[in-house]
Amino acid sequence: MVSEPASTPLSPSPPPKTPSPPTAPTPLSPSSLPTGSISSSPSSSDTSSLSPPIIQATPASSSTSPSPSSPLRRYPDRVRQAPQYLSDYECQLHSVSAAKSPKFPMTSYMSYDCLTPDFQSFVLNISQVQEPRTFEEACTQPCWQQAMNSETSALIDNHTSDIVSLPPWKKVVGNSWVYKIKFNPNGTIERHRARLVAKGFTQKYGVDYLETFSPVAKLNTVKTLLAVGAIKNWFMDQLDVSNAFLNGDLDEEVYMSLPPGFPIPESIPNPVCRLNKSLYGLKQASRQWYFKLTSALLEYGFSPSHSDHSMFVKGSGDSFLVILVYVDDMIVAGPDQHLVSSVKTFLQGQFKIRDLGPLRYFLGLEIARNTSGLMVTQRKNCLELLKDAGLTDCKPVRTPMDIKVWFTTSDGEPLKDITQFRSLIGRLHYLTITRPDICFVVQQLSQFQMAPTTVHLKAAIRVLKYLKNSPGQGLFFSSSSSLQLYGYSDSGLSVRTHVVRSRVIALCLELL
């Protein structure tokens, strides 16, 4: 028989006092932002310079600190774990310990060891910089203010528009600023580019414009040129046309509102910009620029290709030259470096062109070249897609799609907001340029953009988890291949219950 030990009497102690909850920080509202001042004297001159306002956010008031007399917490806070289903996302939960490192960091699935030191520097630089998305955000950085001032000076020097009073019964086209960073071949920032873009979607057909079609280089043509250039060891340089659309003449009468930050002249009632030349964003702007560039290339002896009207060719054999145009970006390629340089000299005499050197970064394609061939990836786009989706630290998967899964319109619950799904599918479509391994699942999910469900969104997120395994994977064009075209096809019975019409046929063409 075991006797109970005598209990030691305890002196009563008052229960611990819980500290009062901290005061919530004051939210930052638009009214708390001081209005920017535009340093310019009002005048009726048409050549007013842009002086964008500098907007500085007022820091939010800090939380109230406890008084010295307030009781302290006797026990440390308990560490709370986040739910398991949130482990794939980047969440800012105050109850979760911030000291815990991610379980699947991005550094474990991305390596730069196989890249040359020069290309490593290039890839790291373009992956770290971010462009502003709003005018207010750009005004807080002096480099973007200078870029906007340079763009405004170019518009004035080119006599793109005149400031006049808006005539009655005339419609005004809006505008906005678009920002882009241009890189040197070594990855350093070449310049900060600010473009004033007109909101052409407000133009009316038959009044503000007539014809709008303008060809651009097909992405299949870009990849074909890279493959042939790698096999034949061509010299491939990149050119960029400054203010390309400003070279086109405007036939219609178009009125545009004053740009954001532009000083408003007091002597002109209801001032607007009457455009004399085409501007980025107008419906007919790209068409006018294409005609201007085509006339110059035809004068030099080039002729447009029948398969792609944005590819211009000249000569044959060792004197062969090709120019591929995508709006204001160009690729000049050929076996003779002297002929390539002569073409660049001619174009620089016709337009304001910057020579970016050997082809390195074109339309989001990262191009690395050595003696064995040419590698094309979209590492930057892939990392930005993972970051925007909050899946940088997610657990990767080994396949882009579950096996034996066929999507239907009745799967899952309909999404309340389908814009996120559509945007995700559109960005995945662009990744298929260098990632053929996700082509099938992206094509399948594209069929449900009108009425996507939770099942379709979950499948799209799975593609992102698959991309994390190898964000730097791409296409390799070997220099030892031969110019022979091979085709592969596959067919299968229609096993999809929502589309029972015909058999599915896949076709793949390859240059070997």
For 327-347, give the DSSP string. Answer: TTEEEEEES-HHHHHHHHHHH
Q: In this predicted model, which residue has the larger pLDDT, 318 or 69?
A: 318
Give yes or no: residues 298 and 193 share one domain. yes
Residue 45 belongs to a domain: no
Residue 17 belongs to a domain: no
Give yes or no: residues 282 and 143 share one domain. yes
Average pLDDT over residues 225-254: 89
Sheet holding 161-165, edge to edge: 161-165, 271-275, 255-256, 172-173
Could you list the residue range(s) of the whole structural domain that residue 306 is in?
A: 132-377
What does the alpha-carbon distance between residue 310 and residue 359 come to, in Å, rounded to a whole number? 18
Give yes or no: residues 306 and 227 share one domain. yes
The last residue of a domain, from among 357, 377, 397? 377
Considering the chain, what percentage of its residues have pLDDT values greater than 90?
26
Task: Report residue 339's pLDDT band, with 50, 70 and 90 as the boundaries.
Answer: very high
Running DSSP on this structure, what letter comes out for residue 61? P
Give yes or no: residues 288 and 367 share one domain. yes
Measure the CA angle with vertex 444, ends 408 and 429; round to 5°.
145
Amino acid code (one letter) for 348 = Q
Give yes or no: residues 309 and 167 share one domain. yes
Q: Convert the pLDDT of each residue in 244-281 to its tens digit.
A: 888 888 888 889 998 888 888 888 888 999 998 888 88
DSSP, collapsed to helix, strand or coil, labels residue 54 as: coil
E runs forming strands in 199-304? 235-241, 255-256, 271-275, 303-304
CB burial readout 29-58, b (16+ within 10 A) else e: eeeeeeeeeeeeeeeeebebebbbbbeeee
The last residue of a domain, from among 361, 377, 393? 377
- Count of H-run helices and E-run strands, the chain: 10, 18
Give yes or no: residues 138 and 222 share one domain. yes
Give yes or no: residues 259 and 306 share one domain. yes
Query: Tokens 């061939």 belong to which residue?
Result: 373
Judge whether residue 1 has pLDDT over 50. Answer: no
Measure the CA angle with vertex 354, ends 349 and 357; round to 5°.
115
Q: In this predicted model, which residue has the larger pLDDT, 342 or 169?
A: 342
What does the alpha-carbon distance between residue 436 and residue 367 come to, in Å, rounded to a whole number? 17
Pair type for strands 504-511 and 485-492: antiparallel
C-alpha dist (Å) from residue 364 to 139, 277, 329, 384, 403: 26, 29, 12, 12, 31
Q: How far is CA 486 from the centre of its chain?
A: 34
Task: Report residue 69's pLDDT band, with 50, 70 and 90 as the boundaries.
Answer: low
Q: Is 175 exposed, middle or buried (0-12, 13-18, 19+ CB in 10 A)?
A: buried
Give yes or no: residues 255 and 387 share one domain. no
> Where do runs of H (alpha helix) occur along 248-378?
285-300, 337-350
Give yes or no: residues 156 and 264 share one domain. yes
What does the alpha-carbon distance between residue 42 and residue 44 come to, in Å, rounded to a whole number? 7
Residue 122 belongs to a domain: no
The last residue of a domain, from among 377, 401, 424? 377
Give yes or no: residues 393 and 314 share one domain. no
| Residue 380: φ, ψ to 5° | -65, -45
Q: Which sign, positive or negative, has the C-alpha torsion 134, 389, 327, 255?
A: negative
Q: Which residues pair with 374 in a beta bridge?
A: 369, 477
Q: Which sign, positive or negative, has the C-alpha torsion 188, 196, 429, 91?
A: positive
Give yes or no: residues 278 and 359 share one domain. yes
Residue 198 belongs to a domain: yes
CB burial readout 96-129, b (16+ within 10 A) else e: eeeeeeeebebeeebeeeebeeebeebbebbbee
Judge whether residue 236 has pLDDT over 90. Answer: yes
Residue 263 belongs to a domain: yes
Average pLDDT over residues 478-494: 74
Around Cβ 274, how many Cβ atoms within 10 Å?
18
Q: Convert the pLDDT of each residue in 151-209 to its tens digit.
A: 888 888 888 888 899 888 888 999 999 998 877 766 678 788 888 899 988 888 887 88
- Candidates 382, 402, 375; CA nearest to 114 is 375
Give yes or no: residues 240 and 267 share one domain. yes
In this structure, are residues 88 and 394 in contact, taking their beta carbons and an 8 Å threshold?
A: yes
What does the alpha-carbon distance between residue 427 and residue 418 come to, in Å, rounded to a whole number? 15
What does the alpha-carbon distance between residue 233 and residue 367 come to, in Å, rounded to a whole number? 15
Lowest mean pLDDT among 25-29, 236-240, 444-448: 25-29
